[in-house]
Structure 1
Amino acid sequence: MDIRRTLMSLVQRAGSKLSPPPRALKLAALVLISLMLYWKLKPPSRPHNVTDLVLKTSDLRDVAAGAGKPISTISPGDDHHSPAANGSAGGAQPLSKHVMNCNPDIRRLREIRDRYELDDEIEYLKRYVRFTRTPGIERPSYTVLQQSFLPDNNVEHKNFRVLHLSTSDHHEEAGEKCPSPLEISVPESPFPADVDLSDFMFAISTTVKRLSDHPTIIQEWAHWLTDGNDKSNGGKLLLRLLDASEAERVDVAQRLADAGIDAEVGAWDSRKEKEMAVRYLNLVPLLFSHESSPTKKWFVLCDDDTFFPAINSLVARFKRYDHTKPLYIGTLSEDASAVATHGSQAFGGAGVFLSRPLARILSSVHETCKTRKKIKQSNSGWGAQGDILLRKCIYENTHQLDLAGGDASGFYEVGFKPYSVHHFRDSGGGDHLWHTAYPLGTAQIAHTCGEDCPYQRFVTKDDFVIANGYSVAQYPGGIDDDLDLDQVERTFRALLDDKGWNFDYTFGPQRPALRGTGKKIAWELRESERGVGDGSVVQAYVRRKDDERWTTGEGTRMRERDGVIELVWIPA
């Protein structure tokens, strides 16, 4: 039995870390706890079924704590843009203890070179940004600074040094003086650690392969389901893994527990529910029938690649709604063609929110909503769709980031403060169905600067635009009246029938894309790391010399070397 072997392995590992006689007592207690947990989760009288075993992360954390097993934390090496474990956790502005150092960390740059397949010779710039959290100011679309991004902007590229990473010393040019940091004021917005998410319960259905292929998924969930320091923020997650073995469920549950997420992990059996749309609909009675249901106001269905960057704002928004009424809340697609194809509904990727009264109604008619006829009707040409099946169930029983083409920079660089983002993992394989972004890396700045800071824009005197946590863009010809920063740059296309006006009803008229014009060149975020106890955040923005977007109208490259910009944000 996989689960019993896993629990006994945990016992053995924990026992080896303890010294007698306390080890003997703690080990005996752990054995008892483990066996009680095993028989509680898997009654011996029940036949084996893929859906039998449901693991609670709270139980796993209790077992680990009883064994003296430390709860692991996220370390920068876990993935390309993992946060450090430390960070501000609370409403007070962190005190700056950071000592400015503009020497390049060659070892870190070599790792970035290898991860993103850059040349050994790169252009490099390190720039400090000092922020002041200021009460009473609003978050504007962009803020104009009276400083230049390049301290000496009279000589083109002067501040970009050329590094030969293979031959450079670990800390080259020691003792180099840093220029004065960019000084900015930001709103005194709440931190992720401030949120109380106890009114919400989330449900996600995915596969073990998805979690394996995208190792940051659990870290991304932890951003909006914990306080950023491995403790739950009150939100609960019900996770269902398709055809997952007991050992796989134990592994995933332990990883969720280590991240501090309050979750329960079970499995769907594809022999019983073959249709993905039906499994999506099944999340509703799963949520409503849960033992915690009476204490929750909102049940949320979302995808594994749904990310909530500003969870405090989301909670504040839902305080406007009456949770005692049957409410169905979500967003339409940004793409008018997608709405025309799939219908007027809450598109599932951005999160579908159901009040408890509505979940009660849907649970009572659940079986009638997933008949063969209903499943067929939910096929809009792309296979049966779970959000359509849910919409039909709601409409018949009661009186998202859809940007294709691989480049959604226009959306991320316009200064929006989104409640959620979606489809940020390009499907690969050359089709570039969706786009690529790193919202977990973007969101790290919120832990020290506040939730208004991600994606906020700052325009410098020398025509650079910092879209915080997404890009640093330079406009060599200047930012003039012809370049309206309040408009979305149309860098993306519609997934379905692109008529040219698909996104107008959401974004308004968009300005033309600047790719291939020589009027814009951008470095895009790839990694972000919180400092240890000093309130700093280091962001690494990368630009490839062969990126076809950054060429002149004649096709000439704007830069002949790959580039890395490191921004170091420090509190005042």
Structure 2
Amino acid sequence: MPFIKGPISLQGRSSHIVLTLVIIVLFLHTLRIVSRPKPPSALLRDAEILPEGSTSPEELYLQRLSKDLGLTSELSWRAWRIVPSEQSEDWPSVTEVNLKFEAVQPKLVDTSAPDRLDLYAKKRMELPVPASPLLGRVDASDFLFGISTTYARIKDRDFAMIKAWSRWLTDGHHHSNGASLVVVLNQARNDELEEIDMTLQATGIDAWVTTTEEPMSMARRYFELSRILKTFAANLAANGQDKRWFGLVEDDVFFPSLSHLRDRLFSYNTDGQHYIGLPSERLDWEASDDDQGLRTYGGGAVLLTRQSISVVPTLPCFESRASGPAFRAKRWDQLLHDCLMLHSEIDMHVLPGFYNPKDDTYDRQLDSYETGQKPLLLRRYAQRHLLNINKAHLVTNVCGESCFMQRYLFDDKWVLVNGISISHYPDGVKVSRPLPPGSPDAPAASPGKRDEEPSLDTPTEDAPTPAESGAVAIPQRVIIDDELEGIDKASLSWTGRKNMWRLVDSALSKDRAVWQAYVKRADKRDPESDQRDSVIVLIWEHGKMNA
């Protein structure tokens, strides 16, 4: 995995020299992709593996949780074993389970001297999951992604970012899933470049790493990325690796399922010019200039076909005379959007995620991750939702890509959002499904009452200013490619109390089962409430999954 040190963009003759050097290095890299070594790395010995010992697995997991989370000395403990069973390929917005979650009663456990029988997970339930590939069975060879970031951000929290990338860029066994990645580091030293390069190799990500020496705005770096992706793709094609989709994405974007993304892109002719934005949540949209509608620049993730990525470097917006204030004043995706709208005939198509401006049932008070919608991508998941994505997504090792965030409603008013949360509605919860558009009996939307605890979906960015709900206007040449009719979009409504356990940990056992821990912390502010932490453990076992 070669890397190049130096500025990617220089003016005049020097820029041609640098570009020629990039082409040569990229060509050499494509000759080494298949045979490159995978050096050992501490990253491979991830703490997600449960330790072995003479005590039971439940006791070992309790020790892990107590040490890492600082749980109360006495706590409530409930554990279920789950066997996933593949059903149809359709994604249900809510799966109603004819089973009582409270069939397993919680036990009071002394963390310093727990009773093994109180911890033991002896009851097992079977849960249906949509048919989808496991992590190692995804062919993502159509994709070439480009990311610009910094050494410090990649190194943070023991390479958490690279671990997240490996969830959607590898087969889970330190081999590429076919997708390729170009990483541009901002002003990295030689030793930092080499460290990132070796770490990416160790995870199996097919990546090429470069850097800039001079200060360079984010917009300029992403423009240079478009040049590199075009050149890189040409060299890959010469070696029999054709790329059809070129993604410019931010470093905190996460694709839960590249196979799902590939399916959503199936209707586009990759031989034509296509420019596609992938906004996820409401925060990825903003008020238009006249405050009469909403607009998006892609939500930090943009996909282009080969013809479209070839157009970007030729746009006049990116000429040397325009590379100063314009690059510093606008976000990279905004600059790209404005330039394409002004200097090309390419329209922007949008594949929305959790939020669709055409959907008049949207309620911004509800947590996006708990709405039962199948995720296309997640953006700023840690900032917006305090989600550890590597732990949350681990369950797909057992039940396939499509079981992540699948929502289950049990007979006794419990709701599981796989990898996100478990909630109990002791005063009642019901399912509501919208009637077909235009039906005279269609009721007004009533998504439910929000619990009183602080929301992890609280906006950390400027929220849009148009109406809080209802369909809104979209600018011309922005086309939303998402039909609302026929989509299973059930909402849960409730009154009164909502008790929530959030996913805080996930780990693999020796038999490759995935252990999840959902925790509800004791409320120290309310001395009248239970002052014990509550832990619910779900053990996802390998079961009735198709080969």
Per the shorter chain, which TM-score range?
0.7 to 0.9
Match of 1:523 among 501, 522, 528: 501
Match of 1:442 among 386, 389, 392: 392
CA contact (8 A) 2:447 2:492 kept: no
Q: CA deviation at 1:128?
A: 1.2
Q: What residue identity is the alignment partner of 1:106?
A: E
CA contact (8 A) 1:335 1:502 kept: no
How far apart, CA to CA, are the structure 1 residues paired with 2:183 and 2:398?
30
Query: Is 1:264 aligned to 2:208, yes or no?
Result: yes
Indicate the residue corresponding to 1:384 in structure 2: 330
CA distance 1:310–1:41, shift in 2 (3 Å): closer
Query: Is 1:74 aligned to 2:24, yes or no?
Result: no
Query: Is 1:369 aligned to 2:318, yes or no?
Result: yes
In the TM superposition, what are the counterparts of 1:342-353 in structure 2 within 5 Å?
A: 344-349=295-300, 351-353=301-303
Match of 2:369 among 406, 409, 412: 412
Q: Which moved more, 1:195-204 or 1:443-452?
A: 443-452
In the TM superposition, what are the counterparts of 1:124-203 in structure 2 within 5 Å?
A: 124-134=77-87, 136=88, 138-151=90-103, 159-165=105-111, 167-168=112-113, 172-174=115-117, 178-203=121-146
Aligned to 1:224, what secondary structure does the other structure show? helix
Q: CA deviation at 1:41?
A: 6.6
CA distance 1:175–1:121, shift in 2 (3 Å): closer
How far apart, CA to CA, are the structure 1 residues paired with 2:252 and 2:281?
17
In the TM superposition, what are the counterparts of 1:460-499 in structure 2 within 5 Å?
A: 460-480=410-430, 487=447, 491=455, 492-494=457-459, 495-497=461-463
Query: Is 1:105 aligned to 2:58, yes or no?
Result: yes
Give per-residue Cα distances to partners, 1:24-83, cap 9 Å, x unaligned.
xxxxxxxxxxxxx99x9789xxx9x99999796996995646xxx557663441xxxx46
Superposition TM-score, scaled by structure 2 size: 0.75
Q: CA deviation at 1:476?
A: 1.4
Superposition TM-score, scaled by structure 1 size: 0.72
CA distance 1:328–1:560, shift in 2 (3 Å): same
Q: CA deviation at 1:390?
A: 0.7
Indicate the residue corresponding to 1:122 in structure 2: 75
Q: Which moved more, 1:230-239 or 1:316-325?
A: 316-325
CA contact (8 A) 2:429 2:493 kept: no
Indicate the residue corresponding to 1:335 in structure 2: 282
How far apart, CA to CA, are the structure 2 residues paired with 1:42 and 1:269?
8
Q: What residue identity is the alignment partner of 2:287?
A: A
How far apart, CA to CA, are the structure 2 residues paired with 1:244 and 1:520?
48
CA contact (8 A) 2:142 2:244 kept: yes
CA contact (8 A) 2:396 2:403 kept: yes
Kindly tell me the number of residue pairs found equivalent between the two proteins: 472
Structure 1 gap ranges (5+): 1-36, 86-101, 153-158, 427-433, 549-554
In the TM superposition, what are the counterparts of 1:298-309 in structure 2 within 5 Å?
A: 298-309=245-256
CA contact (8 A) 1:144 1:460 kept: yes
Structure having the higher strand fraction is 2
Indicate the residue corresponding to 1:430 in structure 2: none
How far apart, CA to CA, are the structure 1 residues paired with 2:142 and 2:432?
46
How far apart, CA to CA, are the structure 1 residues paired with 2:162 and 2:132?
25
Match of 1:542 among 488, 495, 519: 519
Q: Which moved more, 1:477-486 or 1:393-402?
A: 477-486
Aligned to 2:227, what secondary structure does the other structure show? helix
CA distance 1:375–1:474, shift in 2 (3 Å): farther
Q: CA deviation at 1:510?
A: 12
Match of 2:406 among 456, 480, 500: 456
CA distance 1:115–1:241, shift in 2 (3 Å): same
Q: What residue identity is the alignment partner of 1:537?
A: V
CA distance 1:341–1:133, shift in 2 (3 Å): same
CA contact (8 A) 2:82 2:126 kept: yes
How far apart, CA to CA, are the structure 1 residues paired with 2:126 and 2:62?
26
Give per-residue Cα distances to partners, 1:144-183, cap 9 Å, x unaligned.
112111216xxxxxx2222222x215xx325976443122
How far apart, CA to CA, are the structure 2 residues paired with 1:524 and 1:477?
20
CA distance 1:212–1:386, shift in 2 (3 Å): same
Indicate the residue corresponding to 1:296 in structure 2: 243
Aligned to 1:292, what secondary structure does the other structure show? helix
Give per-residue Cα distances to partners, 1:176-230, cap 9 Å, x unaligned.
7644312222222222222211111000000111112243111111111111111
Indicate the residue corresponding to 1:16 in structure 2: none
Aligned to 1:203, what secondary structure does the other structure show? strand
CA distance 1:240–1:402, shift in 2 (3 Å): farther
CA distance 1:248–1:84, shift in 2 (3 Å): farther
Match of 1:394 among 333, 340, 349: 340
CA distance 1:364–1:332, shift in 2 (3 Å): same
CA contact (8 A) 2:280 2:379 kept: no
How far apart, CA to CA, are the structure 2 residues paired with 1:281 and 1:547?
50
CA contact (8 A) 1:50 1:267 kept: no
Q: CA deviation at 1:316?
A: 1.8
How far apart, CA to CA, are the structure 1 residues paired with 2:154 and 2:518?
26
CA distance 1:488–1:207, shift in 2 (3 Å): farther
